């Protein structure tokens, strides 16, 4: 609905101090005036470079005129409505319909119910089935689909390797015979032909993998809905056209899988310490704190046993049960400012995620593409927001136009086909974190605060944080460096957790501090000893009972 208003011209006259010359300002205004009068005064003073002594008179005159015009505008409008009601020209039914429409749009109690989307229906069906006897066939079907995708990816990688080896040999022979018969033009043509062959092969296999995943996603979703229908009608829990074969009992398969997983244990020693702490000033909350060593991507990899196994892993059970629940698992992943899949830890994450089909959320590359589009609007808003500060504007141009994202920025991806993670918080970092001079106001520390706040507001109750804000150990990371960095992160996270608890939302039940693999036992012991001294560990208070009363000693 178009807003009703009238236009008025505000006239302000004032003399100068040195002469009798009188200046006159004419400023158009829309009545009723929706802005701030004092802000308009400052804008007029700045735009026309008025002397400071007229500011008070300008404000008083402008306020009086706006008040008078606004009152007259509403009086005239009201009189017209009263006259229309007396003469019968006012459509009462139309007014009632407008009020009814506004109530439905603005008040939840009277709003019309919105139909459930297909995604919500599928989520509800899946959540109900995984908490029923149908959990076993669902996990086995997902495992079978995952094996099919993995086999195709192995064939793709084998073709890539053969083509790369063949092209490398051809180029090696051509370079060696450069003087004998080959020319620079022929070598350049060969390089172009090799690139075209690589592109064609990549397109062929990419199309084949995508088609397979789309077909699996369609079959899986249709099967889930049919399985729910048959369960509700008290039929067999497994449809006739189920995409799986008969399996052994789930318990036996899981036992074998756990036993076989020992073959894939990492070569470095895994260290771990757990604590139970209480946080809060009055209403204290209990949290489980854990510090451990390991590779951050181990929380994403599904530890399959041998390729011939037909049993799903226990990790899939944990992920499935918590997928549509109030106990989600999150992971903080330190990445660079590029949203592509060409380098860095994001490339490894995409490779892990693409080994199996994503049945519940968009594929990770589609999520990153959507984030890439949203980042453009976010960067534009950031530049406009800091436009008045020249120094900050220069810094913003340097860091946002070239990199689009700054240190401490966080973007989120959702997953259902990873081992122990539902949500990944990708926090942008740079080489400044390798320095030992960062403090609690560093953008990465503030990024952790935003992550904890988002986790508490969105039912993420288990969160894994890299305690040193790095994923790999390097030579400059001495004992003193590690101790100082861990102490900073511990204290800041503790403060953030206390702050988030006062805001409400989900309680962060489990907090894991991840130490890079390869850290020595002595340094890990130092960090583990530091943790209970910073957080409040819940220790039992032991009383000794005696048969005779004891007098306190003076």
Choice between 241 and 511, residue whose per-residue pLDDT is larger: 511
In this structure, what are the phi and psi dihedrals at residue 511, rounded to the nearest 5 degrees?
-120, 125
pLDDT tens per residue, range 204-217: 888 898 899 999 99
Instruction: Give residue 405's Cα distance to chain centre.
Output: 14
User: Would you say residue 162 has pLDDT above 50?
Assistant: yes
Please identify which residue in the block is written with the tokens 């001294």.
Answer: 533
State the pLDDT confidence band at 118, using cuts at 50, 70 and 90: confident
How confident is residue 67, by pLDDT bands cut at 50, 70 and 90? very high
Backbone angles phi, psi at 289, to 5 degrees: -110, 135
Q: Which residue has the tokens 């490894």?
A: 348
Tokens 């589009």 found at: 373
Whole-number Å distance between alpha carbons of 72 and 366: 56
**In the prediction, which pLDDT does 450 show?**
92
Do 3 and 40 meet the contact criterion of CB atoms below 8 Å apart?
no
- Tell me: the pLDDT tens digits for 288-333? 889 999 888 888 887 654 445 556 667 778 888 888 888 899 999 9
Using the predicted structure, report yes or no on whether residue 393 has a pLDDT greater than 80. no
Structure tokens at 196: 């075209």
Q: What number of residues does the chain have?
A: 554
Query: Residue 80: enclosing H or E segment and its boundaries?
Result: helix 55-87
pLDDT band at 114; cut points 50, 70, 90:
low
Q: Which of 13-17, 248-252, 483-487 has the highest mean pLDDT?
A: 483-487
Overall pTM surpassing 0.85 (yes/no): no
Element (DSSP H or E) covering residue 4: none
User: Does residue 102 have a pLDDT over 90?
Assistant: no
Instruction: Please check the confidence at residue 257 and state whether its pLDDT lies above 50.
Output: no
What is the tens place of the pLDDT at every residue in 25-64?
898 998 888 888 999 999 999 988 888 888 999 999 999 9
Give the ranges where 233-309 is alpha helix by DSSP (H).
250-260
Q: Which has the closest alpha carbon to 414: 523, 527, 331?
A: 331
What integer best gives the mean pLDDT of the chain?
A: 80
Instruction: Copy the structure tokens of residue 138.
Output: 């669902």
pLDDT band at 412 (very low <50, low <70, confident <90, very high): very high
Burial of 466-476, coded b for 16+ CB within 10 Å and e otherwise, reads: bbbbbbebeee
Please tell me the predicted confidence (pLDDT) of residue 385.
67
CB atoms within 10 A of CB 309: 15
Percent of the chain with pLDDT over 90: 15
Mean pLDDT of 400-425: 82
């Amino acid at each position: 609905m178009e807003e009703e208003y009238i236009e008025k011209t505000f006239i302000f006259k004032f003399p100068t101090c040195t002469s009798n010359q009188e200046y006159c300002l004419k400023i158009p205004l829309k009545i009723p005036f929706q802005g701030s009068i004092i802000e308009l005064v400052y804008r007029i003073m700045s735009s026309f470079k008025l002397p400071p002594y007229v500011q008070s008179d300008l404000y008083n005159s402008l306020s009086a005129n706006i008040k008078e015009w606004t009152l007259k505008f509403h009086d005239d409008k009201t009189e017209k409505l009263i006259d229309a009601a007396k003469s019968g020209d006012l459509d009462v039914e139309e007014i009632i319909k407008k009020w009814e429409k506004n109530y439905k749009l603005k008040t939840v109690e009277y709003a019309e119910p919105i139909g459930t989307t297909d995604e919500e229906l599928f989520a509800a069906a899946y959540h109900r089935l995984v908490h029923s006897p149908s959990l076993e066939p669902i996990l086995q079907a997902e495992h079978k689909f995952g094996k099919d995708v993995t086999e195709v990816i192995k064939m793709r990688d084998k073709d890539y390797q053969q083509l790369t080896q063949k092209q490398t040999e051809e180029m090696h022979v051509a370079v060696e015979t450069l003087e004998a018969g080959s020319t620079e033009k022929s070598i350049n043509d060969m390089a172009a032909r090799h690139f075209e062959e690589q592109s064609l092969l990549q397109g062929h296999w990419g199309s084949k993998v995508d088609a397979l995943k789309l077909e699996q996603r369609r079959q899986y979703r249709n099967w889930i809905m049919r399985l729910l229908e048959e369960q509700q009608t008290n039929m067999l829990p497994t449809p006739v056209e189920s995409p799986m074969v008969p399996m052994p009992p789930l318990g036996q398969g899981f036992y074998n899988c756990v036993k076989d997983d020992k073959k894939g244990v990492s070569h470095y020693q895994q260290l771990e310490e757990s604590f139970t702490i209480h946080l809060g000033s009055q209403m204290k909350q209990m949290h489980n704190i854990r510090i451990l060593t390991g590779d951050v991507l181990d929380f994403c990899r599904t530890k399959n046993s041998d390729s011939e196994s037909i049993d799903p892993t226990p990790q899939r059970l944990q992920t499935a049960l918590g997928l549509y629940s109030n106990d989600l698992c999150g992971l903080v992943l330190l990445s660079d400012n590029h949203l592509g899949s060409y380098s860095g830890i994001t490339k490894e994450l995409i490779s892990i995620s693409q080994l199996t089909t994503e049945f519940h959320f968009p594929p990770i590359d589609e999520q990153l593409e959507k984030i890439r589009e949203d980042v453009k609007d976010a960067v534009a808003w950031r530049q406009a927001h800091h436009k008045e500060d020249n120094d900050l504007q220069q810094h913003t141009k340097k860091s946002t136009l070239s990199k689009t994202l700054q240190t401490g920025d966080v973007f989120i991806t959702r997953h259902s086909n990873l081992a122990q993670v539902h949500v990944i918080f990708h926090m942008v970092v740079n080489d400044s974190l390798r320095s030992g001079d960062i403090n609690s106001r560093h953008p990465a520390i503030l990024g952790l605060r935003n992550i904890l706040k988002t986790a508490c507001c969105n039912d993420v109750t288990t969160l894994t944080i890299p305690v040193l804000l790095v994923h790999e150990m390097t030579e400059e990371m001495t004992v003193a460096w590690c101790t100082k960095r861990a102490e900073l992160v511990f204290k800041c996270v503790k403060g953030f957790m206390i702050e988030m608890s006062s805001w409400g939302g989900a309680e962060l039940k489990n907090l894991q501090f991840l130490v890079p693999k390869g850290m020595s036992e002595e340094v890990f012991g130092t960090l583990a000893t530091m943790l209970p001294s910073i957080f409040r560990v819940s220790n039992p208070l032991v009383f000794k009972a005696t048969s005779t009363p004891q007098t306190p000693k003076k």
